[in-house]
């Protein structure tokens, strides 16, 4: 709910989904859940159908998906609520279908991967390595926090436990059909104060906030 030019950052992400042609959304809520649900309600104002899956305790990205499993379709499009990237849904679904992928991860090129951890892909866009945060420096590709994955991956997760897709699930899928799609546009992680400040002018200036 951090404000970017007077609009909650989450609303910018939801508007991005609407522009991509997506209408049904499940929001995994925990901290300040009541405020989020009161603000967005059923999604009518944004021309969306929003449902909520509320965590009673932090479950991580994988645990949150498992909690919401009954509400989810197949494949599942997952977005982290604290980062923005100029991804294209058409390219994402095309790669998923063409390669019969189990997971497609949107990747972003950055000047220094040490803050995030990196991802290596081969010439066929297949993910071949996950690089831990801080273990390498310099330019490279990072996880942009957007995934398209088969529902079976969520179905196979244990219930009621904190699970990280990024640290626990995806590395175990190396050698299977995990692909990366490179996004070349803007990327913002609002968990970093400098990026939150940059978002104020960048997203408003490019028209992302207009309804």
How far apart are the C-alpha atoms of 184 and 88, rounded to whole Å?
10
Do 117 and 142 touch, CB atoms closer than 8 A? yes
How far apart are the C-alpha atoms of 62 and 168, rounded to whole Å?
9
Give phi and psi for 130, each to the nearest 5.
-110, 125
How far apart are the C-alpha atoms of 85 and 108, rounded to whole Å?
8
pLDDT band at 207 (very low <50, low <70, confident <90, very high): very low
On average, the pLDDT of the chain sits at 89
Could you report the per-residue pLDDT of 86-131, keeping only the tens digit for each?
A: 889 999 999 999 999 999 999 999 888 888 889 999 999 999 999 8
pTM: 0.89
Residues that are catalytic: 133
On the question of pLDDT at 18 being above 90, the answer is yes
Interval 42-61 mean pLDDT: 94
Alpha helical stretches, state H, 41-163: 60-67, 89-98, 151-155
pLDDT over 90 percentage in the chain: 64
What local confidence, expressed as pLDDT, does residue 98 receive? 96
Residue 174's alpha-carbon distances to 57, 67, 122, 145, in angstroms, are 29, 24, 12, 18
Alpha helical stretches, state H, the chain: 9-19, 33-40, 60-67, 89-98, 151-155, 193-205
How far apart are the C-alpha atoms of 145 and 191, rounded to whole Å?
13
**Structural domains of the chain, ranges and CATH numbers in brackets:** 3-205 (3.90.550.10)
Tally of residues, the chain: 211
What local confidence, expressed as pLDDT, does residue 202 receive? 67
């Amino acid at each position: 709910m951090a404000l970017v030019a007077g609009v909650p950052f989450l609303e910018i992400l939801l508007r991005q989904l609407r522009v991509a042609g997506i209408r049904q959304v499940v929001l995994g809520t925990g901290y300040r859940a009541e405020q989020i649900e009161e603000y967005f309600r059923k999604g009518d104002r944004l021309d969306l159908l929003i449902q909520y899956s509320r965590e009673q305790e932090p479950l991580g990205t994988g645990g949150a998906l498992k909690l919401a499993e009954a509400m989810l379709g197949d494949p599942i499009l997952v977005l982290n609520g604290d980062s923005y990237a100029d991804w294209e849904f058409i390219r994402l679904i095309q790669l998923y279908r063409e390669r019969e992928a189990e997971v497609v991860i949107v990747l972003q090129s950055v000047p220094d991967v040490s803050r995030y951890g990196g991802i290596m892909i081969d010439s066929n866009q297949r993910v071949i390595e996950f690089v831990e945060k801080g273990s390498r420096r310099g330019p490279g590709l990072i996880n942009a926090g957007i995934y398209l994955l088969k529902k079976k991956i969520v179905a196979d997760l244990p219930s009621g436990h904190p699970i990280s897709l990024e640290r626990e699930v995806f590395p175990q899928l190396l050698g299977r059909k995990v692909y990366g799609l490179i996004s070349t546009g803007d990327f913002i992680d609002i968990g970093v104060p400098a990026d939150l400040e940059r978002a104020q002018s960048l997203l408003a200036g490019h028209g992302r906030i207009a309804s």
